[in-house]
Amino acid sequence: MNPLPIPQPEDGKNVKSVRSKRNKNQKQNAALAARLAAMHGYICWYCGSDISNTAPLESHLDHIFPISAGGTNHDSNRALVCEVCDRAKWNMPLSDFLKWLHRPKKSIYTIPQS
Ligand SMILES: [Zn+2]
């Protein structure tokens, strides 16, 4: 019976290759975020809130149609979004998220009756 193969640590070349790919993606995302901000302004694509003070901007890139639902990484499927929308939407289909976003909201204040 053959012994199980002993897992080998990744060699330096592979680790470097993964790192350089990650850096390339970060640069591409930063460039895409800058392009989207130039086109649409520093506002959340879903709710319109100001995201000019969020950094890094590329951390707020969202897939409008989630990859898990057949969305792509194409620029036309990406949008700058605020943290609230980003966390709330996550993998939710766009139509469900928009229903949630525009749901009737209950006021915590009551209008005094005269
Ligand atoms: Zn938002």
Q: What angle do CA 94, 90, 82 make, to 5 degrees?
A: 90
Token couple for 15: 């680790």
- Global confidence as pTM: 0.69
Q: Where are the domains of the chain?
A: 42-104
pLDDT of residue 13: 56
How far is the centre of ligand 1, averaged over its atoms, from the C-alpha of 38 (Å)? 18
pLDDT by residue, tens only, the chain of 114 residues: 666 776 665 555 566 677 787 888 889 999 999 999 999 999 999 999 999 988 888 888 999 998 888 999 999 999 999 999 999 998 888 899 999 999 987 777 777 776
Query: If you search the block for the tokens 């969020």, which residue do you land on?
Result: 54
Are the beta carbons of 89 and 46 closer than 8 angstroms?
yes
How far is the centre of ligand 1, averaged over its atoms, from the C-alpha of 10 (Å)? 41
For the chain, first and last CA: distance in Å? 89
Query: If you search the block for the tokens 């959340």, which residue do you land on?
Result: 44
How far is the centre of ligand 1, averaged over its atoms, from the C-alpha of 50 (Å)? 8
Are the beta carbons of 81 and 60 closer than 8 angstroms?
yes
